[in-house]
């Protein structure tokens, strides 16, 4: 374990004005609080916080962050409290320790929905003080360095979480060295054979070719000296995981990879960066399409460098990054450079990005996402995204993630422009909207009044901002469609009892159902959030068949606790009369599945979440929606006869979707509200007997594993 004097020396090397007494007090307090606690390896637990603090000294961070590292597990794992830490070390440290504790308690590798919510909390914690995540990343790095002491299943879980979340987050913050080490440590756990294979090939290559790195480094230094440029040159082989990922992406073997070496040229001025680029391109042949100027167009996390790939006479490619010393500091520590100290004062690095502005740019577009899975999608896209720089016809620069399309470009300019986009020109040539934009291209958006976003755009767009805007617009368009469908459903239902679905009648229904107005009733009726039975009952309860002897919906399932509610799974849509099982969800109650539902296999290793349930034996109301997959002949009147047959079976159609339209046949999905399994059998038999029905079956989709909307009474 690093002694307190050695830790203070590490801090004093970059911050002579450090508060040694406070760091010493934090060291002693943390050691006392963790007394008697041990890690999986058998070492005293306090070796871990000290190691985390030492990692943060490599980034030259301030005293508050170093002290937070020493205390980051005290509130969670010891008798220490927020109040005690605040009294001893001040509000700033107490808030940081509390923030790290809350991050530690987030189970980021849990189910998708919960993971999305925890991601929101993670970004909220980051927005308050980014140093919280710096401590957490250092904490994860040390845990990954010492992961061998954990059980194999725990190693795999932590490695996957590191690969999916913490490594890309470190990269997004500009801490590339940490991203690479985290990825490599996780790779060692998740695929040790592949990693060992790459290392063996490196050793073989080195025996065959000699020390390529030293030879190319010397050649570059010679060329720069000839050009009168003072610079340092560093060379290295790329990390095993980086090579593995490139092999997977390009679907080629190790022997065919060319750019497995990387070199950094660190100059004294920005002008020298461009002079060095010229000298290198004079000596080696530049590879087309592999040049990026992040000095003139910096990344959002402050990263600046010139990237180029060159090829020698032997055909070997090497990647070269050229930057100044200040740019290099930001490239090494990313957003953390904002807190870096040098000679006892904050390092005034002009390239260090303001953390508040950075986190604002990352989280801004996520605020519009209402759906958890959409939020996760946006987060991961942002964290993994490399950038391309393109131009408007006026010359303004637009930054987009790699793989972006003209749709993303249009929404990046303004949401209104995106909504009315009908086409695009790239470098003056008309291109399809799914074209991938490349660095340096000029993009012109073609618009037309009356255009509206299309559902297919969601498959084209890549940025969170564009996808969120498209989804919002589609929801509004869907509302108009639902209102039209609801109007027809209401008309049909009211005529069935000899009444008319007037605005006045639906306004009365809205008051009874506590909805805003008649339009809202129609919209909910069209979207199947309300049934025609409910709307009729709200206006004419005496005309609706007596449901007094029917089983109330909240009492339909037996075996639940008094405070538990249930929802039907969308994948199998279980009906009364069928054998069922319940799966518990925290905060969502119980989702019930048919006993033969395919998705239940996903919960085989979680028996504590299973409940043995069964339906009430009484008569149930016809409110349980089931989807029917039906293929019918494309002849006049067939659709009407199908609807009539369903109506004659005392079943209500709540939704209808055409899946496939052919000249002679239609395939469609019909949502029908039923009482029970016997009712379903009657409907299927009646439809199967119709000569114009080519095929009819109950539709089940394992991919729709979520719960159904709670529109049943």
| Per-residue model confidence as pLDDT tens digits over 263-303 | 999 999 999 999 999 999 998 888 887 788 888 888 766 78
Rounded Cα gap, residues 177 and 333, in angstroms = 8
CATH code for the domain of 255: 3.30.460.10
171 and 23 in a common domain: yes
Last residue of a domain, one of 285, 318, 346: 346
Q: What is the mean pLDDT of each run of 10 residues along the chain (713 residues)?
A: 89 87 92 88 90 90 90 85 89 87 64 52 65 89 90 87 82 81 90 83 73 85 92 85 73 58 90 92 85 82 85 75 88 69 57 60 53 52 59 79 88 90 90 85 88 85 84 79 84 81 88 84 79 81 61 82 84 91 82 90 84 84 91 84 85 86 84 90 85 88 64 33
Over the stretch 402-432, which tens digit does the pLDDT of each residue have?
A: 788 999 999 988 989 999 999 999 988 898 8
Q: Give the list of residues 6+ apart from residue 548 with CB closer than 8 angstroms, or none.
A: none
Cross-strand bridge partners of residue 633: 665
185 and 204 in a common domain: no
570 and 709 in a common domain: yes
Last residue of a domain, one of 327, 346, 365: 346
175 and 218 in a common domain: no
If we measure between CA atoms, which residue out of 414, 383, 422, 421 comes closest to residue 398? 414
| Per-residue confidence (pLDDT) for residue 456, from 0 to 100 | 85
711 and 584 in a common domain: yes
Structure-token pair, residue 634? 């494309």
If we measure between CA atoms, which residue out of 623, 612, 598, 614 comes closest to residue 676? 623
155 and 10 in a common domain: yes
Residue 145 maps to a domain:
yes
66 and 14 in a common domain: yes
The per-residue DSSP string of 377-443 comes to: HHHHHHHH--EEEEE-TT--EEEEETT--HHHHHHHH-HHHHHTEEEEEETTEEE-TTPPP-TT-BE
Rounded Cα gap, residues 159 and 181, in angstroms = 12
Structural domain of residue 664, as residue ranges? 547-713
572 and 531 in a common domain: no
CB atoms within 10 A of CB 44: 15
Half-sphere exposure of 686 (CA within 13 A, CB side): 18
For residues 561 and 617, the answer to whether their CB atoms sit within 8 Å is: no
Q: Give the list of residues 6+ apart from residue 79 with CB closer than 8 angstroms, or none.
A: 33
620 and 553 in a common domain: yes
What residues are annotated to the active site? 76-77
Residue 465 maps to a domain:
no
Residue 407 maps to a domain:
no
| Per-residue confidence (pLDDT) for residue 352, from 0 to 100 | 60
Residue 382 maps to a domain:
no
Residue 447 maps to a domain:
no
DSSP 18: -
115 and 34 in a common domain: yes
Q: Is the dihedral of CA 13, 17, 22, 25 positive or negative?
A: positive
Last residue of a domain, one of 279, 314, 346: 346
Burial 602-638 (b: 16+ CB within 10 A, else e): eeeeeeeeebebebeeeebbbbbbbbbbbbbeeeeeb
CATH code for the domain of 638: 3.30.70.260
562 and 502 in a common domain: no
CATH code for the domain of 182: 1.10.3210.10
Residue 273 maps to a domain:
yes
Structure-token pair, residue 492? 């049909």
When divided into structural domains, the chain yields a total of 4
Half-sphere exposure of 672 (CA within 13 A, CB side): 32
Residue 394 maps to a domain:
no
Alpha helices in 569-676 (DSSP H): 638-648
Residue 371 maps to a domain:
no
535 and 581 in a common domain: no
Structure-token pair, residue 27? 């060291």
Q: Which residue has the tokens 């679907």?
A: 251
């Amino acid at each position: 374990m690093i002694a307190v004097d050695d830790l203070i020396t590490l801090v004093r090397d970059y911050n002579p004005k450090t508060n040694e007494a406070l760091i010493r007090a934090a060291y002693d307090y943390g050691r006392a609080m963790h007394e008697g606690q041990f890690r999986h390896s058998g070492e005293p637990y306090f070796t871990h916080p000290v190691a985390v603090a030492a990692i943060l000294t490599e980034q030259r961070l301030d005293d508050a962050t170093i002290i937070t590292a020493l205390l980051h597990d005290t509130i969670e794992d010891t008798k220490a409290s927020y109040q005690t830490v605040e009294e001893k070390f001040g509000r700033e440290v107490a808030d940081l320790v509390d923030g790290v504790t809350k991050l530690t308690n987030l189970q980021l590798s849990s189910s998708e929905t919960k993971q999305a919510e925890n991601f929101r909390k993670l970004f909220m914690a980051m927005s308050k003080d980014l140093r919280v995540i710096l401590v957490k990343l250092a904490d994860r790095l040390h845990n990954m360095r010492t992961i061998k002491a954990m059980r194999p299943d725990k190693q795999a879980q932590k490695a996957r979480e590191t690969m999916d979340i913490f490594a890309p987050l470190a990269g997004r913050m500009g801490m590339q060295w940490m991203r690479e080490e985290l990825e490599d440590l996780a790779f060692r756990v998740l695929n040790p054979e592949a990693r060992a294979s790459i290392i063996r090939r490196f050793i073989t290559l080195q025996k065959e070719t000699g020390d390529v790195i030293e030879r190319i480094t010397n050649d570059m230094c010679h060329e720069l000296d000839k050009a009168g440029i003072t610079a340092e040159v560093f060379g290295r082989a790329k990390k095993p995981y980086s090579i593995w990922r490139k092999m997977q992406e390009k679907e080629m073997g190790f022997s065919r990879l060319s750019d497995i070496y990387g070199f950094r040229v660190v100059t004294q001025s920005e002008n020298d960066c461009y002079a060095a680029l010229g000298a290198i391109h004079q000596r080696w042949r530049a590879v087309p399409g592999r040049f990026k100027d992040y000095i003139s167009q910096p990344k959002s996390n402050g990263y600046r460098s010139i990237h180029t790939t060159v090829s020698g006479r032997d055909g070997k490619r090497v990647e070269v990054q050229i930057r100044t010393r200040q740019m290099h500091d930001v490239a090494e520590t990313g957003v953390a450079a904002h807190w870096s100290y040098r000679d006892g004062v904050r390092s005034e690095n002009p390239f260090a990005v303001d953390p508040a502005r950075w986190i604002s740019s990352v989280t801004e577009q996520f605020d519009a996402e209402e759906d958890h899975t959409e939020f996760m999608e946006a987060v991961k896209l942002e964290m993994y995204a490399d950038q391309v720089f393109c131009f408007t016809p006026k010359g303004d620069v637009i930054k987009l993630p790699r793989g972006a399309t003209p749709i993303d470009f249009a929404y990046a300019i303004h949401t209104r422009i995106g909504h009315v986009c009908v086409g695009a020109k790239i470098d003056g040539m008309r291109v399809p909207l799914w074209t991938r934009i490349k660095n340096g291209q000029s993009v012109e958006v073609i618009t037309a009044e009356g255009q509206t976003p299309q559902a297919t755009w969601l498959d084209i767009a890549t940025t969170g901002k564009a996808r969120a805007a498209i989804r919002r617009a589609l929801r509004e368009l869907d509302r108009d469609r639902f209102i039209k469908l609801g109007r027809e459903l209401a008309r049909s239902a009211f005529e069935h009892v000899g009444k008319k679905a007037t605005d006045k009648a639906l306004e009365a229904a809205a008051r009874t159902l506590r909805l805003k107005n008649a339009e809202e009733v129609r919209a909910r009726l069209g979207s199947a959030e309300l049934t025609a039975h409910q709307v009729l009952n709200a206006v004419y309860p005496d005309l609706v068949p007596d449901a007094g002897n029917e089983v109330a919906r909240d009492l339909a399932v037996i075996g639940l606790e008094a405070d538990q509610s249930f929802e039907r799974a969308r994948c199998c849509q279980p009906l009364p009369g069928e054998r069922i099982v319940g799966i518990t969800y925290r905060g969502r109650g119980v989702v019930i599945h048919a006993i033969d539902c395919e998705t239940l296999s996903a919960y085989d290793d979680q028996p504590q979440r299973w409940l043995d349930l069964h339906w009430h034996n009484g008569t149930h109301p016809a409110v349980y929606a089931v989807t029917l997959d039906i293929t019918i002949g494309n002849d006049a009147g067939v659709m009407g006869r199908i609807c009539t047959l369903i109506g004659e079976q005392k079943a209500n159609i709540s939704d209808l979707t055409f899946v496939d339209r052919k000249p002679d046949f239609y395939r469609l999905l019909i949502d029908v509200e039923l009482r029970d399994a016997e009712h379903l059998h009657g409907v299927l038999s009646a439809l199967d007997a119709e000569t114009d029905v080519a095929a009819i079956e109950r539709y089940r989709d394992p991919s729709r594993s979520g719960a159904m909307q709670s529109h049943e009474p």
